[in-house]
Amino acid sequence: MPAAANASERRAAAATVRSGWVRRLASARIGGLGALALVLALLPLVFPNNYFFEVAILVALNAIVCVGLNLLIGYAGQISLGHAGFYALGAYGSAILAARWGWPAWGSMPVAVAAVGVLAWAVGRPTLRLKGHYLAMATLGLGVIVSIVLSNEDWLTGGPDGMAVPPLALLGFTVQGETLWYGIVGLGLWLTVWFALNLIDSPVGRALRALHGSEVAAETVGIDSARWKLRVFVQSALIAATAGAFTAHYAGFITPAKASFLHSVELVIMVVFGGMASIWGAVVGAAVLTLLPQFLTVLKDYEMMAFGAILIATMVFFPRGIVPTLQRLLSRSRR
Protein backbone atom coordinates (compact mmCIF):
# COMPACT_ATOMS: atom_id res chain seq x y z
CA MET A 1 0.00 0.00 0.00
CA PRO A 2 2.32 2.75 -1.19
CA ALA A 3 -0.42 5.39 -1.02
CA ALA A 4 -1.16 4.75 2.65
CA ALA A 5 2.51 4.64 3.57
CA ASN A 6 2.99 7.89 1.74
CA ALA A 7 0.07 9.47 3.58
CA SER A 8 1.36 8.40 6.98
CA GLU A 9 4.82 9.69 6.09
CA ARG A 10 3.32 13.01 5.14
CA ARG A 11 1.40 13.06 8.40
CA ALA A 12 4.51 12.30 10.39
CA ALA A 13 6.38 15.04 8.53
CA ALA A 14 3.55 17.47 9.22
CA ALA A 15 3.62 16.49 12.89
CA THR A 16 7.36 17.16 13.02
CA VAL A 17 6.82 20.59 11.51
CA ARG A 18 4.13 21.22 14.08
CA SER A 19 6.21 20.09 17.02
CA GLY A 20 8.82 22.56 15.77
CA TRP A 21 6.11 25.15 15.90
CA VAL A 22 5.17 24.22 19.43
CA ARG A 23 8.74 24.78 20.51
CA ARG A 24 8.90 28.07 18.65
CA LEU A 25 5.65 29.13 20.29
CA ALA A 26 7.00 28.23 23.70
CA SER A 27 10.01 30.39 23.06
CA ALA A 28 7.69 33.03 21.62
CA ARG A 29 6.19 33.16 25.10
CA ILE A 30 9.52 34.02 26.69
CA GLY A 31 10.31 36.24 23.69
CA GLY A 32 6.99 38.03 24.03
CA LEU A 33 7.52 38.71 27.73
CA GLY A 34 11.04 39.98 26.96
CA ALA A 35 9.73 42.20 24.18
CA LEU A 36 7.01 43.59 26.43
CA ALA A 37 9.57 44.36 29.15
CA LEU A 38 11.81 46.06 26.59
CA VAL A 39 8.99 48.17 25.14
CA LEU A 40 7.79 49.18 28.62
CA ALA A 41 11.34 50.10 29.63
CA LEU A 42 12.25 52.01 26.46
CA LEU A 43 9.02 53.96 25.89
CA PRO A 44 9.80 56.64 28.51
CA LEU A 45 12.96 57.53 26.56
CA VAL A 46 10.87 58.72 23.61
CA PHE A 47 8.06 60.36 25.61
CA PRO A 48 8.38 64.15 25.10
CA ASN A 49 6.06 65.16 27.93
CA ASN A 50 3.81 64.04 30.79
CA TYR A 51 0.78 63.68 28.56
CA PHE A 52 2.40 60.67 26.89
CA PHE A 53 2.97 59.09 30.30
CA GLU A 54 -0.68 59.66 31.19
CA VAL A 55 -1.84 57.95 28.00
CA ALA A 56 0.61 55.07 28.47
CA ILE A 57 -0.63 54.53 32.04
CA LEU A 58 -4.21 54.51 30.78
CA VAL A 59 -3.27 51.96 28.09
CA ALA A 60 -1.57 49.72 30.66
CA LEU A 61 -4.49 49.88 33.10
CA ASN A 62 -6.97 49.01 30.34
CA ALA A 63 -4.70 46.21 29.17
CA ILE A 64 -4.59 44.74 32.69
CA VAL A 65 -8.39 44.74 32.89
CA CYS A 66 -8.64 43.24 29.38
CA VAL A 67 -6.21 40.40 30.11
CA GLY A 68 -8.43 39.43 33.05
CA LEU A 69 -11.62 39.89 31.05
CA ASN A 70 -10.22 37.77 28.22
CA LEU A 71 -9.71 34.87 30.63
CA LEU A 72 -13.47 35.03 31.12
CA ILE A 73 -14.59 35.81 27.55
CA GLY A 74 -11.95 34.09 25.46
CA TYR A 75 -11.21 31.05 27.60
CA ALA A 76 -14.34 30.34 29.66
CA GLY A 77 -16.70 31.61 26.93
CA GLN A 78 -18.75 33.87 29.21
CA ILE A 79 -19.43 37.57 28.65
CA SER A 80 -19.46 40.21 31.37
CA LEU A 81 -21.10 43.54 30.58
CA GLY A 82 -20.34 44.91 34.03
CA HIS A 83 -16.58 45.00 34.27
CA ALA A 84 -16.55 48.80 34.29
CA GLY A 85 -18.70 48.45 37.42
CA PHE A 86 -16.09 46.25 39.13
CA TYR A 87 -13.36 48.61 38.00
CA ALA A 88 -15.23 51.62 39.40
CA LEU A 89 -16.12 49.82 42.64
CA GLY A 90 -12.44 49.02 43.16
CA ALA A 91 -11.66 52.69 42.60
CA TYR A 92 -14.49 54.12 44.73
CA GLY A 93 -14.14 51.50 47.45
CA SER A 94 -10.52 52.32 48.05
CA ALA A 95 -11.15 56.07 47.59
CA ILE A 96 -13.98 56.14 50.12
CA LEU A 97 -12.09 54.13 52.73
CA ALA A 98 -9.05 56.37 52.28
CA ALA A 99 -10.74 59.79 51.91
CA ARG A 100 -13.74 59.42 54.23
CA TRP A 101 -12.32 57.16 56.91
CA GLY A 102 -8.66 58.00 56.62
CA TRP A 103 -7.46 54.46 55.87
CA PRO A 104 -3.97 54.18 54.42
CA ALA A 105 -4.10 53.19 50.75
CA TRP A 106 -2.19 49.96 51.38
CA GLY A 107 -5.13 48.93 53.57
CA SER A 108 -8.02 50.40 51.60
CA MET A 109 -6.98 48.91 48.27
CA PRO A 110 -6.96 45.22 49.22
CA VAL A 111 -10.15 45.57 51.26
CA ALA A 112 -11.98 47.26 48.38
CA VAL A 113 -10.70 44.63 45.92
CA ALA A 114 -11.74 41.78 48.23
CA ALA A 115 -15.21 43.30 48.63
CA VAL A 116 -15.58 43.43 44.84
CA GLY A 117 -14.55 39.76 44.73
CA VAL A 118 -17.32 38.89 47.20
CA LEU A 119 -19.84 40.87 45.14
CA ALA A 120 -18.76 39.13 41.92
CA TRP A 121 -19.07 35.77 43.67
CA ALA A 122 -22.57 36.63 44.90
CA VAL A 123 -23.69 37.64 41.41
CA GLY A 124 -21.89 34.86 39.58
CA ARG A 125 -22.82 31.92 41.77
CA PRO A 126 -26.54 31.74 40.97
CA THR A 127 -26.22 32.87 37.34
CA LEU A 128 -23.31 30.65 36.28
CA ARG A 129 -25.23 27.53 37.32
CA LEU A 130 -27.57 28.27 34.42
CA LYS A 131 -26.66 27.48 30.84
CA GLY A 132 -26.61 30.36 28.37
CA HIS A 133 -25.76 34.02 28.62
CA TYR A 134 -27.33 34.81 31.97
CA LEU A 135 -24.04 36.19 33.27
CA ALA A 136 -24.12 38.90 30.59
CA MET A 137 -27.62 39.88 31.73
CA ALA A 138 -26.78 39.85 35.42
CA THR A 139 -23.56 41.84 35.00
CA LEU A 140 -25.31 44.31 32.71
CA GLY A 141 -27.83 44.94 35.49
CA LEU A 142 -25.13 45.13 38.13
CA GLY A 143 -23.09 47.62 36.09
CA VAL A 144 -26.11 49.89 35.64
CA ILE A 145 -26.93 49.74 39.36
CA VAL A 146 -23.33 50.56 40.33
CA SER A 147 -23.31 53.49 37.94
CA ILE A 148 -26.59 54.88 39.36
CA VAL A 149 -25.50 54.42 42.97
CA LEU A 150 -22.16 56.15 42.38
CA SER A 151 -23.94 59.09 40.72
CA ASN A 152 -26.72 59.49 43.27
CA GLU A 153 -25.17 58.85 46.69
CA ASP A 154 -23.55 62.27 46.89
CA TRP A 155 -22.82 62.06 50.62
CA LEU A 156 -20.54 59.08 50.03
CA THR A 157 -19.27 59.33 46.46
CA GLY A 158 -19.48 63.04 45.69
CA GLY A 159 -22.11 62.32 43.04
CA PRO A 160 -21.61 63.12 39.34
CA ASP A 161 -18.93 65.67 40.22
CA GLY A 162 -16.67 62.93 41.50
CA MET A 163 -14.43 62.85 44.56
CA ALA A 164 -10.82 63.53 45.45
CA VAL A 165 -8.64 60.57 46.40
CA PRO A 166 -5.56 60.72 48.65
CA PRO A 167 -2.33 59.55 47.01
CA LEU A 168 -0.78 56.13 47.55
CA ALA A 169 1.64 56.32 50.46
CA LEU A 170 3.78 53.57 51.86
CA LEU A 171 6.02 53.84 54.93
CA GLY A 172 5.96 57.63 54.76
CA PHE A 173 6.86 57.66 51.07
CA THR A 174 4.22 59.07 48.73
CA VAL A 175 3.96 57.63 45.25
CA GLN A 176 3.64 60.56 42.88
CA GLY A 177 4.85 61.73 39.53
CA GLU A 178 4.00 60.28 36.15
CA THR A 179 7.29 58.43 35.77
CA LEU A 180 7.00 56.50 39.00
CA TRP A 181 3.36 55.65 38.34
CA TYR A 182 4.29 54.57 34.86
CA GLY A 183 6.84 52.22 36.40
CA ILE A 184 4.33 50.74 38.83
CA VAL A 185 1.54 50.28 36.29
CA GLY A 186 3.98 48.97 33.66
CA LEU A 187 5.31 46.39 36.12
CA GLY A 188 1.69 45.55 36.97
CA LEU A 189 0.92 44.93 33.31
CA TRP A 190 4.01 42.81 32.82
CA LEU A 191 3.17 40.69 35.88
CA THR A 192 -0.46 40.32 34.78
CA VAL A 193 0.63 39.08 31.35
CA TRP A 194 3.19 36.72 32.86
CA PHE A 195 0.66 35.29 35.33
CA ALA A 196 -1.97 34.92 32.62
CA LEU A 197 0.42 33.14 30.22
CA ASN A 198 1.45 30.76 33.01
CA LEU A 199 -2.15 30.18 34.00
CA ILE A 200 -3.28 29.28 30.48
CA ASP A 201 -0.47 26.74 30.18
CA SER A 202 -1.44 24.91 33.40
CA PRO A 203 -4.17 22.52 34.56
CA VAL A 204 -6.26 25.59 35.39
CA GLY A 205 -5.88 26.97 31.86
CA ARG A 206 -6.66 23.60 30.30
CA ALA A 207 -9.86 23.38 32.34
CA LEU A 208 -10.89 26.83 31.12
CA ARG A 209 -10.04 26.09 27.51
CA ALA A 210 -11.88 22.77 27.79
CA LEU A 211 -15.03 24.65 28.85
CA HIS A 212 -14.77 26.78 25.75
CA GLY A 213 -13.92 23.85 23.47
CA SER A 214 -16.77 21.59 24.59
CA GLU A 215 -18.56 22.10 27.87
CA VAL A 216 -20.20 18.67 27.79
CA ALA A 217 -16.85 16.96 27.19
CA ALA A 218 -15.25 19.06 29.92
CA GLU A 219 -17.88 17.79 32.35
CA THR A 220 -17.26 14.19 31.32
CA VAL A 221 -13.62 14.47 32.37
CA GLY A 222 -14.73 15.81 35.75
CA ILE A 223 -14.53 19.57 35.21
CA ASP A 224 -17.22 21.26 37.30
CA SER A 225 -18.21 23.85 34.71
CA ALA A 226 -20.24 26.08 37.03
CA ARG A 227 -17.45 26.20 39.61
CA TRP A 228 -14.75 26.99 37.04
CA LYS A 229 -16.76 29.70 35.33
CA LEU A 230 -17.42 31.26 38.72
CA ARG A 231 -13.76 31.06 39.62
CA VAL A 232 -12.54 32.80 36.49
CA PHE A 233 -15.34 35.37 36.67
CA VAL A 234 -14.37 36.32 40.22
CA GLN A 235 -10.69 36.42 39.27
CA SER A 236 -11.38 38.72 36.33
CA ALA A 237 -13.46 40.98 38.61
CA LEU A 238 -10.59 41.06 41.15
CA ILE A 239 -8.17 42.12 38.41
CA ALA A 240 -10.55 44.87 37.22
CA ALA A 241 -11.03 46.11 40.80
CA THR A 242 -7.27 46.15 41.40
CA ALA A 243 -6.72 48.21 38.27
CA GLY A 244 -9.55 50.49 39.41
CA ALA A 245 -8.04 50.98 42.88
CA PHE A 246 -4.67 51.90 41.38
CA THR A 247 -6.38 54.31 38.97
CA ALA A 248 -8.10 56.12 41.83
CA HIS A 249 -4.89 56.74 43.79
CA TYR A 250 -2.92 57.58 40.68
CA ALA A 251 -5.45 60.05 39.22
CA GLY A 252 -6.28 61.61 42.60
CA PHE A 253 -9.80 62.25 41.37
CA ILE A 254 -12.55 59.91 40.16
CA THR A 255 -15.97 60.32 38.59
CA PRO A 256 -18.82 57.83 37.97
CA ALA A 257 -18.06 57.98 34.21
CA LYS A 258 -15.66 55.04 34.72
CA ALA A 259 -18.61 52.88 35.78
CA SER A 260 -20.70 53.60 32.69
CA PHE A 261 -22.20 50.82 30.61
CA LEU A 262 -20.34 52.28 27.65
CA HIS A 263 -17.02 51.65 29.39
CA SER A 264 -18.02 47.99 30.02
CA VAL A 265 -18.79 47.63 26.33
CA GLU A 266 -15.48 49.29 25.42
CA LEU A 267 -13.63 46.70 27.49
CA VAL A 268 -15.44 43.84 25.75
CA ILE A 269 -14.69 45.42 22.35
CA MET A 270 -11.00 45.69 23.24
CA VAL A 271 -10.92 41.97 23.99
CA VAL A 272 -12.77 40.93 20.84
CA PHE A 273 -10.83 43.41 18.67
CA GLY A 274 -7.44 42.23 19.91
CA GLY A 275 -8.42 38.58 19.80
CA MET A 276 -10.41 36.29 22.06
CA ALA A 277 -8.46 33.59 23.86
CA SER A 278 -5.22 35.48 23.26
CA ILE A 279 -3.39 37.14 26.14
CA TRP A 280 -1.38 39.28 23.72
CA GLY A 281 -4.59 40.08 21.85
CA ALA A 282 -6.05 41.64 24.99
CA VAL A 283 -2.94 43.83 25.36
CA VAL A 284 -2.95 44.86 21.69
CA GLY A 285 -6.72 45.47 21.69
CA ALA A 286 -6.50 47.67 24.79
CA ALA A 287 -3.54 49.58 23.37
CA VAL A 288 -5.03 50.21 19.91
CA LEU A 289 -8.50 51.15 21.10
CA THR A 290 -7.19 53.41 23.88
CA LEU A 291 -4.79 55.18 21.52
CA LEU A 292 -7.09 55.41 18.49
CA PRO A 293 -9.38 58.13 19.92
CA GLN A 294 -6.27 60.19 20.75
CA PHE A 295 -5.31 60.20 17.08
CA LEU A 296 -8.87 60.61 15.81
CA THR A 297 -9.47 63.83 17.73
CA VAL A 298 -8.09 65.69 14.68
CA LEU A 299 -11.25 64.59 12.82
CA LYS A 300 -13.38 66.49 15.36
CA ASP A 301 -17.07 65.83 14.56
CA TYR A 302 -16.27 62.75 12.51
CA GLU A 303 -14.28 61.09 15.29
CA MET A 304 -16.91 58.53 16.30
CA MET A 305 -17.72 57.76 12.68
CA ALA A 306 -14.09 57.01 11.88
CA PHE A 307 -13.78 54.96 15.07
CA GLY A 308 -16.80 52.89 14.07
CA ALA A 309 -15.53 52.41 10.52
CA ILE A 310 -12.14 51.19 11.78
CA LEU A 311 -13.86 48.73 14.11
CA ILE A 312 -16.03 47.37 11.33
CA ALA A 313 -13.12 47.08 8.89
CA THR A 314 -11.00 45.28 11.48
CA MET A 315 -13.68 42.73 12.28
CA VAL A 316 -14.24 42.14 8.54
CA PHE A 317 -10.56 41.62 7.72
CA PHE A 318 -9.45 40.19 11.10
CA PRO A 319 -12.49 38.18 12.15
CA ARG A 320 -10.65 36.35 14.94
CA GLY A 321 -9.23 39.58 16.28
CA ILE A 322 -5.94 41.17 15.33
CA VAL A 323 -3.41 38.95 17.09
CA PRO A 324 -4.86 35.47 16.32
CA THR A 325 -5.48 36.41 12.66
CA LEU A 326 -1.93 37.74 12.25
CA GLN A 327 -0.49 34.64 13.96
CA ARG A 328 -2.45 32.46 11.55
CA LEU A 329 -1.27 34.40 8.48
CA LEU A 330 2.30 34.34 9.72
CA SER A 331 2.36 30.58 10.38
CA ARG A 332 0.76 29.93 6.98
CA SER A 333 3.29 32.06 5.08
CA ARG A 334 6.18 30.29 6.81
CA ARG A 335 4.96 26.81 5.92
Partner 1 sequence: MSLLVVEHLAKRFGGLRAVDDLSFEVPARTVYSIIGPNGAGKTTLLNLMTGIYAPDTGRVRLAGQDLTGQPTHRWAAAGLGRTFQNLQVFFNMSALENVMTGRHLHESSALVPAIFRLPSLRRAEAANRAQAEALMHRVGLGEWIAAPADAMPYGALKRLEIARALAAGPQLLLLDEPAAGLNQTEAHAIDGLIRELARGGMTVVLVEHNMRLVMEVSDRVLVLERGARLAEGTPAEVAADPRVIEAYLGAETPAATAAEVAHA
Does the footprint of partner 1 cover residue 212 (CB under 8 A)? yes
CB of residue 245 to partner 1, shortest distance in Å = 19
Q: With left for phi above 0 and alpha for psi between -120 and 50, is residue 222 left, alpha or beta?
A: left
Contacts with partner 1: how many residues (CB under 8 A)? 36
Q: At 164, phi and psi to the nearest 5?
A: -80, 145
Our CB check for partner 1 shows the closer of 217 and 329 to be: 217
Restricted to residues 179-198, the positions that interact with partner 1 (CB under 8 A) are: 195, 198
Does the footprint of partner 1 cover residue 174 (CB under 8 A)? no
Does the footprint of partner 1 cover residue 204 (CB under 8 A)? yes
Stretch that binds partner 1, among 167-175, 224-232, 265-273, 312-320 (CB under 8 A): 224-232
CA dist 325 and 321 (Å) reads: 6
**Residue among 146, 58, 109 at smallest CA distance from 246:** 109
Our CB check for partner 1 shows the closer of 251 and 279 to be: 279
CB atoms inside a 10 Å sphere around CB 141: 14
Restricted to residues 266-305, the positions that interact with partner 1 (CB under 8 A) are: 277
CB of residue 227 to partner 1, shortest distance in Å = 9
**For the residues of 111-175, what is the DSSP string, one character each?**
HHHHHHHHHHHHHHHHHTTSSSSHHHHHHHHHHHHHHHHHHH-HHHH-GGG-EE-PPPEETTEE-
Restricted to residues 226-265, the positions that interact with partner 1 (CB under 8 A) are: 226, 235
CB of residue 128 to partner 1, shortest distance in Å = 13
> What ranges make up the beta strands (E) of the chain?
163-164, 169-170, 173-174, 253-254
Q: Which residues are at the interface with partner 1 (CB under 8 A)?
A: 8, 11-12, 14-16, 18-19, 22, 195, 198-199, 202-207, 209-210, 212-214, 216-226, 235, 277
